[in-house]
Amino acid sequence: MYEKFYHLEADPFRLSPNTKPIYRHASYIQAKTYMLYALRRGEGIVLVTGRPGTGKTALLRDFTNSVKDEHIVTADLVSTQLQSADLIRMIAFSFGVDSLISDESKIIDELGARLLGMRDAGRRLLLLIDEAQNLENEALRKIERLMELRWQSEPLIQIFLIGREPLRELVLAETLKRLYQQVNAVLCLEPLDERGTGEYIRHRLIQVGWDNDPQLADDIFPVIHTYSHGIPRLINLICSQMLLFGMTEGLHSIGPDEINSVLEQMISDQMLPSPLPHIAV
């Protein structure tokens, strides 16, 4: 729709993580850098947290793409697909264990033997669990058992748990002492600041061939930051509505009056949270 009106090669503000032109801001770079470091050093468990819409899934896909040519065997699970009773079986299946009808202890033994064989062959082993804040305590205790599997002096398997902010409190609870002793880092994807919001919007537009059509006034970016809270998913939502409004009105420049009209409608439609307190429409 509006991408044709503005002569863009694609929609710059689609919400799907598969289509995001990645904007690597400071906390994103920090998180990815440490994830790569932890993987290569065998650092045990790493937590990656953040508010909904801050780009955790995009980070995860960017990270796995960065290591795809290395000698890494990866199991990639989403916690919403997992019941506690099935967790070990799903992990074992993901690493190629065929016999899953035995009791759990035997499956762990088979999994350990298979992983040791791969590790001895020079492979690194990586388990990724997305939306991990949904894991039950029983499931987390099973992850404790996996961390008991060792290769030489280091954990046999590297585990990244990715989820919303409650994940930190969940994993670091006193009732899971053996688990949190294995946690080597807690990384957090932070929302963008005001400057980062403007850079993010321009970055996404440039990635799809934007040639300053529409022309965007500099003073719309603080307003977008205020109403998006610096969360990329909400920035995308606002900017998509902004370009749709611009197309509908036949506009080739967008300033404060236009963005305020868009935001007023979005607030009326309950599409946005309350704004940050220092600016009002």
Q: In the 8-state DSSP scheme, what is residue 192?
A: P
Taking 90 as the threshold, does the pLDDT of residue 258 lie above it? yes
Mean pLDDT of 66-72: 87
Tell me how far apart the terminal alpha carbons of the chain are, to the nearest angstrom.
Answer: 27
Least confident of 45-49, 83-87, 94-98, 131-135: 83-87
Q: In the 8-state DSSP scheme, what is residue 219?
A: G
Taking 70 as the threshold, does the pLDDT of residue 17 lie above it? no
Do both 254 and 154 map to the same domain?
A: no
CB 56 within 8 A of CB 43: no
Residue 239 pLDDT class (50, 70, 90 cuts)? very high
- 205 located within any domain: yes
Mean pLDDT of 81-103: 83
Do both 116 and 231 map to the same domain?
A: no
CB 3 within 8 A of CB 10: yes
Taking 90 as the threshold, does the pLDDT of residue 163 lie above it? yes
Q: In the 8-state DSSP scheme, what is residue 42?
A: T
| 22 vs 163 pLDDT, higher one | 163
pLDDT tens profile 93-114: 999 998 777 788 899 999 999 9
* Of 189, 221, 247, the domain-final residue: 189
Do both 136 and 183 map to the same domain?
A: yes
pLDDT tens profile 219-231: 999 999 999 999 9
| The token pair that represents 220 in the structure block | 């719309």
Task: Give the domain CATH number at 197.
Answer: 1.10.8
In sequence order, which ranges of 42-165 are alpha helices (DSSP H)? 56-66, 87-94, 104-120, 137-147
Task: Give the domain CATH number at 137.
Answer: 3.40.50.300
- 106 located within any domain: yes
Write down the pTM of the prediction: 0.88
Split into its structural domains, the chain has a count of 2
pLDDT at residue number 261: 96
- 156 located within any domain: yes
Q: Please, what is the average pLDDT of the chain?
A: 90
pLDDT at residue number 280: 45
Tell me how far CA of residue 101 lies from CA of 91, 92, 149, in angstroms.
Answer: 14, 11, 21
Q: Before 214, cis peptide (omega within 30)?
A: yes
pLDDT at residue number 81: 60
Do both 83 and 158 map to the same domain?
A: yes
pLDDT at residue number 281: 44
Long-range Cβ pairs for the range 5-9 (8 Å, 24+): 5/246, 5/247, 6/210, 6/213, 6/214, 6/243, 6/246, 6/247, 7/209, 7/211, 7/213, 8/205, 8/208, 8/209, 8/210, 9/208, 9/209
Mean pLDDT of 154-166: 92
* Of 154, 189, 224, the domain-final residue: 189
CA atoms within 13 A of residue 170's CA, in its CB half-sphere: 21
For the four alpha carbons of 236, 230, 19 and 208, in that order, the dihedral sign comes to positive
- 275 located within any domain: no
* Of 136, 167, 189, the domain-final residue: 189
Do both 258 and 183 map to the same domain?
A: no
The domain of 85 spans 26-189
